[in-house]
Amino acid sequence: LEVVTSFKDKIPILGVCLGYQAIAYVFGSKIVMANDLMHGKVSKINHDGKTIFQNVVQNFKAMRYHSLIVAKNSIPKEIGISAETEDGTIMGLRHKSFPLEGIQFHPESILTTEGEKILLNWLRL
């Protein structure tokens, strides 16, 4: 939490899984238990096509390892939703003013079909 608070306006930050939750929490979102445990499960992800999702196919498969989620009704106005599962679970957030992105899934997993492209997009920001 300290890293996000201290560096949010100084250096780009990509939060993955717990890091995504940390970004959301720092800006006032609530972190709650998911309806289903998502440890080692793959989901299809839809996204907004911007920044880290530029040229990433819709409905790509992503590996998930989490039991907590960001409550959709707690997203502050300075944070935008950038990706969701088919059932509407938030999978990506982006700050509207600071260079902060967060994703709940694991782009480094071999089972995340667009993971390499997402990480390369991040490095190009």
Encode pLDDT of 66-121 as tens digits.
Answer: 999 999 999 999 999 999 999 999 999 999 999 999 999 999 999 999 999 999 99
Percent of the chain with pLDDT over 90: 98
CA–CA separation, 16 and 82 (whole Å): 14
**How far, in Å, CA of 40 to CA of 28, rounded?**
28
Q: Per-residue pLDDT for 125 more than 90?
A: no
| pLDDT for res 120 | 98
Instruction: State the CATH number of the domain containing residue 52.
Output: 3.40.50.880
Nearest in space to 56 (alpha carbons), one of 21, 105, 2: 105
| Residues annotated as catalytic (active site), given as ranges | 17, 106, 108
The per-residue pLDDT for 115 is: 98
* Domain count across the chain: 1
Range of the structural domain that residue 69 is part of: 2-124
Can you tell me the distance from the alpha carbon of 74 to that of 102, in angstroms, rounded to the nearest whole number? 15
DSSP one-letter string for 29-56: --EEE-SS--TTEEEEEEE--SGGGTTP
The structure's pTM equals 0.95
Q: What does the pLDDT average to over 3-11? A: 93
